[in-house]
Structure 1
Amino acid sequence: MEVQVIGLDIAKSVFQLHGLDVDGETVLQKRLTRARLLPFFEKLPPCLIGIEACGSAHFWARELTKLGHDVKLMPAQYVKPYVKRQKNDMADAEAIAEAVTRPNMRFVPAKAPDEQSAMMLHKVRMMLNRQLVMLTNAIRAHMAEFGVVAPVGRGGVDRLLAIIEDDDDYHLPAEARLCLGMLANQLRLVKAQILENDRRVLASARSTELGRRLMEVPGIGPLVASALVACVPDPSIFRCGRNMAAWLGLVPRQYSSGGKARMGSVTKAGNRYLRQMLFAGAMAVIRRAMQGTRRTWLTRLLERRKPKVAAMALANKNARIAWALMTSGARYREPLDITA
């Protein structure tokens, strides 16, 4: 019997397959190593392959597509309801094969290498910033053990670094100064890498016409523009701007039943990094709005809502604006002031 659908449960070195025929009957259950996976699919007639959208999924989607197969990536949380009883590789592969055939299933577009590379800039930036905070806190904590403290902020850290470099300073013993010098050298290296990473992110945002248009929106800077271009290569997968905002977790959570609609806080689902960046950009706009004199919908919202609530509303609005700009090809138009 010819295989029509395959559920592929991927891992680092071992892969589980579950194949179905045209009637949905199980005709294949196979376990393959990494080296045998592509040769197996080369001999197989073109079929529908379902994969959970997880680590290395986009790579395998591209490789299997080159062999003529129709590959569909699905969010793992949408596959989980199809797992029967105990969780293991065979059960996961069977659930994937079942889920990929559902007509209402939502799929994840496979990313190209360039899109993954652009997003890697942001992931590395997050890791470097975490390392920066860790190194700064470590230097402050160790020096506080010898009674050396400094004010909060960059100036305080620079003052501590100057003490570490001063061999004539009496506060630090020689062994402690040697260890702190290692941390200081690492801190300088991380700062230089962050600056280089930010330069590349800015160049990535400016390199595309879409990125330049997105940066015209207040609250969307190079980081958000570059991440949007990388994470949403095809905005037409969203039916409207609200769907994209929901994908980013910027819409209220529903607790509705019996015809009664109850809305809670935002869902915080989907792409966490983009949501954080949109919120950070919105907070910058909020601070300017609180200091300005222009009468806009944002200033009126701030009169009855807390700044962070208003920032979340602005982040939601910016996500919808970004979707509109990405689908229509139009440029951002500044709204008129409110006179009433």
Structure 2
Amino acid sequence: MAKNGSDELMSIGIDIGKDFFHLVGFDLDGRLVLRRKIKRLALVTTFEDLPRCVVGMEACMSAHFVSQTLRELGFEPRIILAIYVKPFNKGQKNDYNAAEAIAEAALRPNLKTVSEKAQEQLDLQALHRVRSRLVSRRTATMNQIRAFLLERGITVRKSVATLRNSLDAILNNRSDELSLRMRKLILGLQQDWVWLDKRIDMTTAEIKDLSTSDDSCRRLMTIPGIGPLISTAVVAAIGKGEAYDRGRDFPAWLGLVPRQNSTGGRTILGRITKRGSKYLRTLFVQAAQVIMMRPQNWHKFSFGPWLEAAATRMQHNKLGVALANKLARIAWSVLRAGTDFNRRGQEILVAI
């Protein structure tokens, strides 16, 4: 077995690590001819000496950077979801076995791969991740304030506005129930809350500015229920949707389709799969719930008759998921067609 490569490599699998990469390669006969551990900084110098072939890697941190680097060198990189690599794993879990499984998975012609993201998409994705983290921290801060007040017998209605408006009055007028140390702690948490509000507003404003300057985002925002957050998140995740052959493939990737457990010719459907991006799936479900809150507007949309009929036979939450699925299909259609959503003439695109 050659340790330094082969003149006839068919595929290479890379197990990407923080400081080291593990490489495993197969020749045209499917024999393992490359097995090497390299430093991250030696990526370019190592692959410059290797014959051009298919290079597979799992979708993870820095996978898009590695893919872009190898594509510039003339290789054919393929980013594969970890769930699709798992069936090819053999033996115990280690870096070389993982790289070997990736190399084998990269050669499967029918295996769906992850589209390589451009730098603009990665920047937009980073903005959404920062905003999501800030919102999560703000929620944790508010919950901690409520918990401290509740331990002193002070309850506040379950509303962000109520807590914000009544917190100053509680700190000033309920000093007999709150110790001096506890008042200082809550005041510090209140300052954290104000700072987080400012950071979230700044990040949201930046996302809105980007949504107005991007053509794809502007087209997506013509769809009912979709605004700057969802439009930019969709563009950051799938670009123009080239990775999907049909409209139903996008909501399937989001996990908005029923889980199947069918056998013997019987179709058995369960709860939704919840695969793919949880963040984007949540945004689509929230958009659907906003539309469902205003039934007087349903007749304005091309999917209005379907929504009115579905509302009579579906439970509320199930209807929300079904509508989120339809919105995701419409979003894919708008991106692929490169046109605005026609509220009365989009049925052909939706059916794709």
TM-score, length basis structure 1: 0.92
Q: Which moved more, 1:14-23 or 1:167-176?
A: 167-176
Q: Which residue of 1 aligns with 2:341?
A: 332
Residue of 149, 156, 168 corresponding to 1:150 = 156
- 2:101 alignment partner, SS class: helix
Aligned partners of 2:119 and 2:171: how far apart in 1? 44
Alpha-carbon deviations, 1:96-128, whole Å to 9, x = none? 111111122211111112101101121112211
- Distance in 2, matches of 1:72 and 1:292, equals 44
1:279 pairs with 2:279: no
Q: Residue 8 of structure 1 aligns with which residue?
A: 14
Q: Deviations over 1:216-251 (max 9, x none)?
A: 111212111111111111413211101112111112
Write the distance in 1 (CA, Å) between the matches of 2:202 and 2:254.
28
Structure 1 unaligned regions, length at least 5 = none
Q: Distance in 1 between matches of 2:157 and 2:293?
A: 24
Give runs of aligned pairs for residues 150-299 of structure 1, distance below 5 A.
150-163=156-169, 166=172, 169-289=175-295, 294=299, 296-299=305-308
In the superposition, relative to structure 1, how do residues 279 and 168 fare at CA in structure 2: closer, same or farther (>3 Å)?
A: closer
Residue 162 of structure 1 deviates from its aligned partner by: 0.7
Match of 1:314 among 323, 334, 344: 323
- Partners in 2 of 1:20 and 1:231 — Cα distance? 32
How far 1:277 moved relative to its partner? Answer: 0.6
Counterpart CA distance in 1 for 2:98 and 2:161 is 53
Matched, 1:27 2:36: no
Structure 2: how far apart are the matches of 1:134 and 1:237? Answer: 37
CA contact (8 A) 1:72 1:100 kept: yes
Provide the residue aligned with 2:74 in structure 1.
68
Q: Secondary structure of 1:224's partner?
A: helix
Q: For 1:96-115, list aligned pairs within 5 A.
A: 96-115=102-121
Q: Is the 8 A contact 1:279 1:312 kept in 2?
A: yes
- 2:254 touches 2:276 (CA, 8 Å); kept in 1? yes
Structure 2 CA distance for partners of 1:179 and 1:193, relative to 1, 3 Å: same
Q: Number of residue pairs matched?
A: 335
Which digits, 9 at most, give the CA deviation of each residue in 1:292-327, with x for residues without a partner?
684732122212212211111111111111111111
1:36 offset after TM fit, Å? Answer: 2.3
Do the aligned partners of 1:228 and 1:274 also contact (CA within 8 Å) in 2? yes
Q: How far did 1:6 drift?
A: 0.9
Q: Indicate the SS of the match to 2:318.
A: helix
Q: Whole-Å Cα distance in 2 between the matches of residues 209 and 251 of structure 1?
A: 29
State the percentage of identical aligned residues.
37
Alignment check: 8 A CA contact 1:282 1:312 kept? yes
Give the alignment of 1:83-94 within 5 angstroms. 83-94=89-100
For residues 307 and 253 of structure 1, what CA distance do their matches in structure 2 show? 19
Q: Give the stretch that moved more between structures: 141-150 or 205-214.
A: 141-150
Q: Is the 8 A contact 2:10 2:28 kept in 1?
A: yes
User: Judging changes above 3 Å, is the alpha-carbon distance between structure 1 residues 250 and 264 closer, same or farther for their aligned structure 2 residues?
Assistant: same
CA distance in 2, matches of 1:49, 1:293: 49
SS at match of 2:270: strand
Distance 1:124 1:212 in 2: 22
Equivalent residue for 2:350?
Answer: none
Q: What is the identity, as a one-letter code, of the residue corresponding to 1:85?
A: G
Moved more, 249-258 or 4-13: 249-258
Q: Offset of 1:335 from its aligned partner? A: 3.5
Match of 1:220, SS state, is coil
CA contact (8 A) 2:16 2:57 kept: yes
Kindly state the Cα deviation for residue 22 of structure 1 after the two structures are TM-superposed: 2.0
CA contact (8 A) 1:74 1:106 kept: yes
